Amino acid sequence: MARVRKALKTRAVGHTGTLDPFATGLLVVLVGRATRLARFVEQQAKTYLATARLGVVTATDDATGEVVGSMDPELPAPADAEIGAVMARFLGRQRQRPPAYSAKHVDGERSYRKARRGETVTLPEVEITVSSLSVVRYQWPELVFRATVSPGAYLRALARDLGERLETGAHLTALRREAIGGLRVEQAVPLAELGPATPVLPPLAVLGHLAQEAVSEAEARALGYGQGIAGRGPEGGAPVALVHEGRLVAIAEHRDGRLAPSVVLEPAS
């Protein structure tokens, strides 16, 4: 983030989810008042291209950790059909145990710090959704797959669990985040090319998953003062992006028959 702040000459910079040190790919960076949108961006599904090494288990579920188990060399490698059948069973909602070496908090401390000290860390399972999961390439012992998952899902844990179901063990050797919601890595600007003249996408570009409502100039002004406007949808509905002349004015929620702003992007002037 320090390099982004320096390149864009602003301190108001925030990201929407880090990548593991060995991973590459898309990182959405929010600038200025758009930093207030982080929680809405984080709610979107993410797509990854992952490479797993079957037959070997590591302490970190990736190639940075020490080997803690391996497959019996006398056993046959899984066939293509078996790989596909096992992966199909991971689709949908499920419970996942995060890796011990993760940023999850345990008793006020990051899990990976406890694990590095040799402490036994067992994290509670969380509910995730795997929307899609497909084989890109398989040649024993390397399996390349693409997955679209809900927020909070760990691809390292997915590879670990896939190895357990195949009875081979597995860990990730490479990971690339290809998309967050409708944003794709092909649209991204390499860090080395960032500068004051780098074009910045409008805030609406990161909110493609939200419903949009057009508001009048008077309503936009009221929202800028933090005031609600007449509601247009059901109570308890999902957040709505309120737009005036193509610009995001606020994110609002339905409360007591009105749209109450939870985030204001364009304050009243």
pLDDT in tens, 183-194: 999 999 888 888
In the chain the domains, ranked by start, together with CATH numbers, are 46-180 (3.30.2350.10), 210-264 (2.30.130.10)
Alpha-carbon distance 148 to 129, whole Å? 9
Catalytic site residue 20? yes
What pLDDT score does 102 carry? Answer: 64
Q: Strand ranges (DSSP E) for 39-125?
A: 46-54, 56-58, 67-70, 92-96, 105-106, 109-110
Chain mean position to CA 237: 23
What pLDDT score does 19 carry? Answer: 82
What pLDDT score does 103 carry? Answer: 62
The residue with tokens 């997955």 is: 147
Output the tens digit of pLDDT for each of the chain's 269 residues.
777 787 777 788 777 777 888 899 998 989 888 899 999 998 899 999 999 999 999 999 999 889 999 999 889 999 999 999 999 999 999 999 988 766 665 555 666 565 565 556 677 889 999 999 999 999 999 999 999 999 999 999 999 999 999 999 999 999 999 999 999 999 998 888 888 888 888 999 999 889 899 999 999 999 999 999 987 765 667 899 999 999 999 999 988 888 999 999 987 66
The residue with tokens 């996408």 is: 201
What's the mean pLDDT when you consider all of the chain? 88
Tokens of 201: 């996408």
Q: Exactly one of 20, 61, 62, 161 is catalytic; which is it?
A: 20
Note the helical H segments in the chain. Answer: 2-8, 38-42, 80-88, 111-116, 155-166, 217-224
pTM, 2 dp: 0.88
What pLDDT score does 120 carry? Answer: 62
Alpha-carbon distance 25 to 85, whole Å? 28
Neighbouring-strand partners of residue 174: 51
Alpha-carbon distance 29 to 180, whole Å? 12
Buried b / exposed e across 10-29, counting CB within 10 Å, b at 16+?
Answer: eeebbbbbeebeebebbbbb
What pLDDT score does 113 carry? Answer: 64
* pLDDT per position as a tens digit, 89-127: 999 999 999 887 666 655 556 665 655 655 566 778 899
Give the amino acid at 256. Answer: D
Alpha-carbon distance 208 to 210, whole Å? 6
Contacts of 51 (CB under 8 A, 6+ apart): 142, 143, 144, 172, 173, 174, 175
What pLDDT score does 3 carry? Answer: 77
Task: Find out whether the peptide bond into 141 is cis, omega within 30 degrees of 0.
Answer: yes
